[in-house]
Structures are given as structure tokens and as C-alpha cells.
Amino acid sequence: MEASTRRARRHDPDRRDKLIAATLDIIAEHGVAGVSHRTVARAADVPLGSTTYHFTSLDDLLAAAFTRHADSIAGVFEERMRAAPDRAAAIESVAEHISGDLLDANHDLVLSVELYGAAARKPVLRAVTQAWMRRSREALEHHFDPTTAREVDALIEGLVLHSALSTDPMTPAQVRAALHRFLP
């Protein structure tokens, strides 16, 4: 342990992570408007000063949180597409993805929509959504041509949103039917 551990951190195992996780929880429950240094610090059970130490500003914290969220969802989707052996299996995976085993209606969805709203106004976050969209499209391109991938990506977005906001959401069978109409 000479040169290798020279730069080891003192005694902060995962403060940054805890702060980001707490931020995401707050956004999911109260929206971006509910995020403040104090609410985050309370939720993460850390002192107030810790939030300004690890993130230079609130915007910085929000960007980190949204980046983590987008990366997480994109990673799971990529994994699903990579695991699908063929086109039919890929379609089935997409249907499952939409029907909500991943986007459990009241957490990930709110995070995604809040991200869209913030991204529409802040260039930094716009870059996050774009990277996410690109990864989704590329994952779909393992099974579909680029044009189709792009269109299906948009269709997924719309189906997820409508499913989440509707009191009468589409059943998994209806979702599958819609996909198969698009991908005969």
C-alpha cells in the first residue's frame, strides 16, 4: 500500500451516491420543485453543508441525479436488447419493458417526465436525454434497421407515457398488438 492508496478517500464511502439517490427519491415524490439542499440533506441523513461540498450548486446536483437515472434505464434496456436472441424475442422484451415491470409507474416514470421537462429548458440536461435516446436507438438497432429503430423508440415513449397517465391503461396484450402492427 504505498503509491496505489495514496489518493484514497478519507472516510466517505458513498456520500455522493447517497445524495444522488435521495435527490431522485425527492424528485419522484415531490417533483424538481421539491428539491432543495435542505430536503436532500434530510432525506440522505447528512449535514446541510455536505450537499454544497459535494455539488457546487443545486443545478449540479440535479444534473448528476438525472444523469444517473437516464444511465440506469438505458443500461437496463440495452441489457434486455442484448439478451434477446432474435427479433421476436426483442419485440417481446420491448413489450415487457413498456408494460411496466421496469418503469414502475410512480417512480421511474415521474423521474423521466421531470427530466424531459427540465431538459426542454436546460441545455445540460438536454444532452442527457439525447445520450439516452441514442443508446436506446442503438440497442434497438441490434434487431431493427435504423429507421425502424427510431420510429419504435418514439412509439415506446408514447405508449409508456399514455400507460402511466391513463386510469385505463393498455393491457400488455394491447401493447403487444400495437408493437406487432408496427413490426409485422
Partner DNA sequence: CCTCCATGTGTACGAGCGTACATAACGATC
Partner DNA sequence: GATCGTTATGTACGCTCGTACACATGGAGG
From the list 40-48, 82-90, 92-100, 172-180, the region that binds DNA by CB under 7 A is 40-48
String of contacts with its own copies for each residue 82-111, x by CB under 8 A: ------------------------x--xx-
From the list 10-18, 28-36, 66-74, 79-87, the region that binds its own copies by CB under 8 A is 28-36
Closer to its own copies by CB, 21 or 113: give it.
113
- CA dist 180 and 184 (Å) reads 5
- CA dist 56 and 61 (Å) reads 8
Minimum distance, C-beta of residue 8 to DNA, in the bound complex (Å): 5
**Residue type at position 64:** A
**What 8-state DSSP symbol labels residue 107?**
T
Contact at 8 Å (CB) between 54 and 16?
Answer: yes
Task: Report if residue 67 touches DNA, rule: CB under 7 A.
Answer: no
Task: Report if residue 65 touches its own copies, rule: CB under 8 A.
Answer: no
**Residue owning grid cell 398488438:** 177
Q: Residue 77: which residues within 8 A CB-CB, separation 6 or more?
A: 97, 102, 135, 136, 139
From the list 40-48, 83-91, 138-146, 155-163, the region that binds its own copies by CB under 8 A is 155-163
Contact at 8 Å (CB) between 84 and 90?
Answer: yes
- The residues of the shown chain that bind its own copies, judged by CB under 8 A, are 29-33, 106, 109-110, 113-114, 116-121, 126, 129-130, 133, 147, 150-151, 153-159, 161-162, 164-167, 170, 174, 177-178, 181-182
